């Protein structure tokens, strides 16, 4: 077993109950995780910004129960949601060997997202992050564990089992996940906080321009699996590790242009890998390419440091430092909005990570 933490088990002594709550944001990868093996282990190191406005709030009310199996009610935005309840039941099962208390309690889980459902923003990172933090807090309360850093790291480990990229949502500002020979403390099991980067990057915005809010035609799970037979996979994993190393050096300085080049190259590489998978598939839309051209031409004209990245979908993430916020608004309003679906833009920025609500 590769669980690097103490396993806490409860006796049958007393009746226990309580309530905890966490807010966890989403994150945007600058160097992408695309390809995995074993139990949610990444094929390469990845690096992300922890966001702020796109977040999930989760509260868990727990009460001791004797039947020794996972037991929960799940409410999403005030309504019962069986599909999510089944997913969470499966997740709690999968972590029960590490966190045995998940079978000692009945959980009433209430969750809500700050962004509209089907807005084109994936909620798995923020929702798995918030859930993992709540479970770790319950355990910490029951056993008097007070080490905040360990709680974060353990929650990152657990969130990873629910969704790989969720492991990175737990850290303030910048997060690296995946073993890398040049990064001290890096691990495939959990993400680590990346410190010592130039302060300009802490001012970064990520405005998400929605090209389509439709569900993806190929899930991330299927996309990761297709990397196994992609002829470019070995070169890709080496490239990603090199880009993480280069990026961390660049980000020690205020060289936003060098940062932006890697961010855009990564977005294009991710989607190129999809297009040359077998079978091939395409997640970007014509509007995505139109926006990419507009962003590049605006940058050529103005020389302003405004860049984009893409997640596994068609929506553009516009990345820029706070110093050019007004110019980014001009770019969005005058050049990009026509290519969005219903003018939807979700304004986000980098943040110091999850907050305890209760």
List CB contacts of 72: < 8 A, sequence separation 6 or more. 85, 88, 89, 92, 106, 107, 108, 109
Helix 233-250 and helix 256-275, axial crossing angle in degrees, nearest 10: 170
Q: Judged by CB, which is closer to ligand PMV: 58, or 309?
A: 309
Our finding on whether 23 is near ligand PMV (CB under 6 A) is: no
Considering only residues 46, 113, 123, 186, which one is a binding residue for ligand PMV as defined by CB under 6 A?
46
Binders in 206-265 for ligand PMV, by CB under 6 A: 220, 224
Residue (45 or 101) nearer to ligand PMV, CB: 45
Phi, psi of 13 (to 5 degrees): -65, -55
Q: Which is nearer to ligand PMV, 217 or 297 (by Cβ)?
A: 217
Sign, Cα dihedral of 321, 324, 326, 332:
negative
Residue 129 or 164 with smaller CB distance to ligand PMV:
164
CA–CA separation, 254 and 19 (whole Å): 43
With CB under 6 A as the contact rule, the residue among 21, 164, 287, 305 that binds ligand PMV is: 164
Examine residue 33 and tell whether it contacts ligand PMV (CB under 6 A): yes
Residue with tokens 């099962």: 93
Q: Using CA atoms, how far apart are residues 85 and 131, in angstroms rounded to an integer?
A: 12
- Which range of residues in 70-78, 159-167, 249-257, 284-292 is near ligand PMV by CB under 6 A? 159-167
Q: Of 291 and 310, which CB lies nearer to ligand PMV in the complex structure?
A: 310
Pairing assessment for the beta strands 316-320 and 41-42 based on DSSP bridges: unpaired
Q: For ligand PMV, give the closer residue by CB, 101 or 310.
A: 310
Half-sphere exposure of 305 (CA within 13 A, CB side): 20
> Which of 266, 287, 280, 270 has the alpha carbon at shortest distance from 337?
287
Q: Does 163 bind ligand PMV (CB under 6 A)?
A: yes
| Least gap, CB of 219 to ligand PMV (angstroms) | 8
Binding segment toward ligand PMV, per CB under 6 A, in 30-38, 209-217, 231-239, 287-295: 30-38
Q: Report the nearest approach of ligand PMV to the CB of residue 204 (Å).
A: 16
Nearer to ligand PMV, 132 or 138 (CB): 132
**Smallest distance from the beta carbon of 27 to ligand PMV, in angstroms?**
7
Taking CB under 6 A as the binding criterion, the range among 73-81, 132-140, 160-168, 287-295 that sits at the site for ligand PMV is 160-168
Q: Is 332 in a helix, a strand, or coil?
A: helix
DSSP per-residue string spanning 247-298: HHHHTTTT-HHHHHHHHHHHHHHHHHHHHTSSS------HHHHHHHHHHHHH
Contact between 26 and ligand PMV (CB under 6 A)?
Answer: no
Q: Which stretch binds ligand PMV (CB under 6 A): 10-18, 32-40, 59-67, 260-268?
A: 32-40
Q: Is residue 269 near ligand PMV by the rule CB under 6 A?
A: no
The CB density around residue 147, as the number of other CB atoms within 10 Å, is 10
Of residues 44, 56, 58, 124, which one binds ligand PMV by CB under 6 A? 124
Which of the ranges 28-36, 93-101, 285-293, 348-356 carries the binding residues for ligand PMV, by CB under 6 A? 28-36
Length of the chain, in residues:
358
Q: Residue 210, by phi and psi: left (phi above 0), alpha (psi -120 to 50) or beta?
A: beta
> Which 276-315 positions form the footprint of ligand PMV (CB under 6 A)?
311-312
CB 27 within 8 A of CB 129: no
| Chain contacts with ligand PMV (rule: CB under 6 A) | 29, 32-34, 46, 124, 163-165, 220, 224, 311-312
């Amino acid at each position: 077993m590769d669980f690097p933490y103490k396993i806490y088990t409860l006796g049958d002594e007393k009746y226990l109950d309580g309530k905890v709550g966490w807010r966890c944001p989403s994150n945007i990868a600058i160097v992408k995780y695309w390809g995995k093996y074993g139990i949610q282990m990444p094929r390469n190191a990845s690096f992300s910004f922890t966001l702020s406005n796109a977040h999930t709030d989760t509260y868990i009310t727990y009460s001791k129960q004797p039947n020794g199996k996972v037991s929960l009610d799940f409410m999403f935005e005030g309504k019962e949601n069986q599909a999510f309840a089944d997913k969470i039941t499966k997740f709690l099962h999968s972590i029960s060997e590490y966190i045995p208390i998940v079978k000692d309690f009945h959980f009433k889980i209430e969750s809500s997202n700050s962004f509209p459902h089907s807005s084109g923003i994936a909620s798995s990172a923020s929702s798995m992050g918030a859930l993992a933090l709540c479970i770790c807090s319950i355990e910490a309360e029951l056993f008097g564990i007070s080490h905040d850093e360990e709680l974060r790291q353990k929650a990152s480990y657990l969130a990873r089992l629910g969704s790989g990229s969720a492991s990175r949502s737990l850290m303030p500002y910048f997060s690296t996940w995946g073993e890398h020979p040049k990064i001290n403390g890096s691990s495939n099991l959990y993400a680590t906080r990346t410190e010592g980067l130039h302060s300009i990057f802490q001012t970064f915005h990520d405005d998400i321009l929605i090209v389509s809010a439709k569900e993806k035609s190929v899930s991330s799970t299927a996309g990761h699996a297709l990397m196994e037979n992609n002829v470019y996979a070995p070169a890709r994993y080496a490239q990603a590790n090199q880009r993480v190393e280069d990026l961390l050096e660049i980000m020690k300085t205020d060289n936003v242009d060098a940062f932006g080049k890697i961010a855009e190259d990564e977005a294009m590489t991710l989607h190129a890998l999809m297009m040359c998978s077998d079978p091939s598939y395409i997640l970007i839309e014509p509007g995505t390419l139109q926006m990419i051209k507009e962003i590049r031409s605006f940058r050529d004209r103005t020389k302003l440091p405004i860049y984009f990245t893409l997640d596994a979908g068609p929506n553009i993430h516009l990345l820029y430092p706070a110093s050019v916020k007004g110019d980014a608004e001009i770019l969005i309003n005058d050049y990009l909005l026509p290519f969005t679906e219903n003018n939807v833009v979700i304004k986000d920025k980098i943040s110091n990570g999850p907050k305890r609500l209760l």
